[in-house]
Structure 1
Amino acid sequence: MILRFLRPGFSAAVFGMRVLFTVAVSPVVLAQEAHHPAETAQTAEESAFLAENDAAMTKMMNDMAAKPSGDIDRDFVAMMTPHHQGAIDMAVIELRYGKNERLRRIAQEIIVEQRQEIDAMKLALGEQVTDTTPAPTQQPGAKPAPAATSHDHMNMHHDMMKQETK
């Protein structure tokens, strides 16, 4: 009501400020709501998925806040490595809970590709790449299957040929 007695340009400016404030605050509010999705989960499995995903995102964001070293390339790798590791962690969570076979295959590809990116960045800095962690789809403590050798493939091929001639 008081705005009527003020200059017409002033009420338009106040209205514009209110619109800008609403536009600026909405994404912040939505981000805060999206950051706590476990509270709105429908099932126990979905709650577990959302909690693990939230933990992975929080870890990634915290780890990306690397202290500058004075070396731009090292700082880039120090920030990108947790970013890629976060993608790996989220893909593992998809493999643990997801049902869609296409998405599960994509998650497997993400794991391989992001690990390769991490290794490539480390190699570019001259760092040693020594990945001793088990594949994320294996149970912790499980021994990986022995790698097949070319000799094994030849035996497999020979055995298959025998079966076909029977």
Structure 2
Amino acid sequence: MTRHLTMRAGSALLVTVVAVIAFVAGCQWSHPSGHLLSIMSELCGDEAPFVAENRAAMQRMMDGMAIEPSGDVDRDFSTMMIAHHQGAIEMAQAELRHGRNELLRRIAQEIVVEQQQEIAAMRLARGESLARSTASPDRAVQSLAPVKALSYPTTVASTAPRQ
């Protein structure tokens, strides 16, 4: 009898854990279209547009990184890294559109600029024109004042790379 109750309690706990994981995963990874978007809005509230944008950016990034080997390691590496950097730019732009934390918004702005520069460098290394670049800051990025240097809190400064 005790073993039966223990098994039922364990099953109930497992169902609860799975339900919580499904809720969290839904807020983080739900598909941004159709019926799932309305469910996402109910579960994630005001964060739904941010979640949808990040989900779409992650999917584009993963699709862009899923390449067939070409036989040219440098081309394959740069193709995957350009997709990865473009994904970082799109996620940073979503933070700029929806985020409220000024420090995180400034970090997102830096991510946009730095990742654009690295994409440009990789394209130049491949002998491509920079005119092809689709990585450009949107209005949210342009609305922030230029950042000369960030002053990080002490706990972050100790882990920030030295320049």
TM-score normalised to structure 1 length:
0.58
Distance in 1 (alpha carbons) for counterparts of 2:134 and 2:91:
16
Decide which structure has the larger Cα Rg and report it. 1
Structure 1 132/70 Cα, relative in aligned 2: closer, same or farther at 3 Å? closer
- Aligned pairs for 1:45-64 (under 5 A) are 45-64=46-65
In structure 1, the residue matched to 2:127 is 126
**Offset of residue 35 of structure 1:** 2.9
**Offset of residue 68 of structure 1:** 1.6
**Offset of residue 128 of structure 1:** 1.4
Among all aligned residue pairs of Structure 1 and Structure 2, give the percentage whose two residues are the same amino acid: 52
Distance in 2 (alpha carbons) for counterparts of 1:52 and 1:134:
16
Gap regions ≥5 residues in structure 2: 1-17, 32-36, 143-163
Q: For the Cα contact (< 8 Å) 2:116–2:135, is it kept in 1?
A: no
Distance in 2 (alpha carbons) for counterparts of 1:51 and 1:105:
22
The 3-state SS of whatever aligns with 1:42 is: helix
**Offset of residue 129 of structure 1:** 1.1
The 3-state SS of whatever aligns with 2:97 is: helix
Question: Does 2:29 correspond to 1:35?
Answer: yes
Distance in 2 (alpha carbons) for counterparts of 1:75 and 1:58:
19
Structure 1 runs (4+) greater than 4 angstroms displaced: 131-134
In structure 1, the residue matched to 2:137 is 136
Distance in 2 (alpha carbons) for counterparts of 1:94 and 1:106:
10
Distance in 2 (alpha carbons) for counterparts of 1:105 and 1:41:
28
Q: For the Cα contact (< 8 Å) 2:89–2:135, is it kept in 1?
A: no
Taking only aligned residues, the RMSD between alpha carbons, in angstroms, comes to 2.8
**Offset of residue 131 of structure 1:** 5.2
Distance in 1 (alpha carbons) for counterparts of 2:90 and 2:81:
14
Q: For the Cα contact (< 8 Å) 2:95–2:108, is it kept in 1?
A: yes
Distance in 2 (alpha carbons) for counterparts of 1:89 and 1:75:
21
**Offset of residue 99 of structure 1:** 0.5
In structure 2, the residue matched to 1:150 is none
In structure 2, the residue matched to 1:147 is none
**1:52-80 Cα shifts (integer Å, max 9, x gaps):** 11111011101111222111100101111
In structure 1, the residue matched to 2:157 is none
Distance in 2 (alpha carbons) for counterparts of 1:59 and 1:78:
13
Structure 1 41/95 Cα, relative in aligned 2: closer, same or farther at 3 Å? farther
In structure 2, the residue matched to 1:85 is 86
Distance in 2 (alpha carbons) for counterparts of 1:68 and 1:62:
14
Q: How many residues align?
A: 111
TM-score normalised to structure 2 length:
0.59
Q: For the Cα contact (< 8 Å) 1:41–1:50, is it kept in 2?
A: no
